[in-house]
Amino acid sequence: MKINPNGWVPVLLWDSGTMYECAAITIFLCDRHPEARLAPAVGEPTRALYLQTLVYFSNSVQNAFQLTYYPDRFANSPHGETGAKQRGNRRLRETWSVVNQQIGSNDWGITKKR
Ligand SMILES: N[C@@H](CCC(=O)N[C@@H](CS)C(=O)NCC(=O)O)C(=O)O
């Protein structure tokens, strides 16, 4: 709770700081360790897709999961929880469908040297 007052994981602790929010942590770690080539560097053509996908997962797909895991947080009363969960399941299908279309028949294997 000291690191993330929301009470959520993940959190990151390193020698001189702490932070939360998985997309921010991912970007931070990729930027901090460029030698690992975990993400497209600033200026690389695929940088935009990397950022878009990362934020889409933490902002949209994750939000749909929240509806299904914690419907009580999205309903005004226990009566509304079933509806919130159903909406979450629909939203999960919608968001994963977007991911599925993006993947398409592209070869996403890391086969070529960047
Ligand atoms: N927006 C936050 C959400 C993190 C999140 O929802 N974490 C879940 C586990 S995957 C959690 O801690 N849930 C506990 C809760 O919501 O009470 C992020 O992207 O890091």
Label residue 110 by pLDDT band (50, 70, 90): low
Question: How much is the average pLDDT of 3-24?
Answer: 96
Mutate to test the pocket of ligand 1, among 6, 8, 25, 72 (most ligand atoms within 8 A of CB): 8
Alpha carbon distance 56, 108 (integer Å): 18
Distance 13 CA to ligand 1 centre (A): 16
3 Cβ below 6 A of ligand 1: no
Question: How much is the average pLDDT of 19-34?
Answer: 97
Q: For a pLDDT cut of 70, what percent of the chain falls above it?
A: 96
Tens-digit pLDDT profile for residues 29-83? 999 999 999 999 999 999 999 999 999 999 999 999 999 999 999 999 999 999 9
pLDDT of res. 108? 72
Distance 112 CA to ligand 1 centre (A): 34
Nearest atom, ligand 1, residue 10 CA: 20
Cα separation values, 95 from 58, 75, 99, 100, Å: 11, 21, 7, 9
pLDDT of res. 16? 95
Distance 64 CA to ligand 1 centre (A): 12
Task: Retrieve residue 2's tokens.
Answer: 């000291």
Tell me: pLDDT of 107 over 90: no
Give, using CA atoms, the residue closest to atom 10 of ligand 1: 9
Sorted by where each begins, the domain ranges of the chain are 1-39, 42-103
3-state SS class at 13: strand
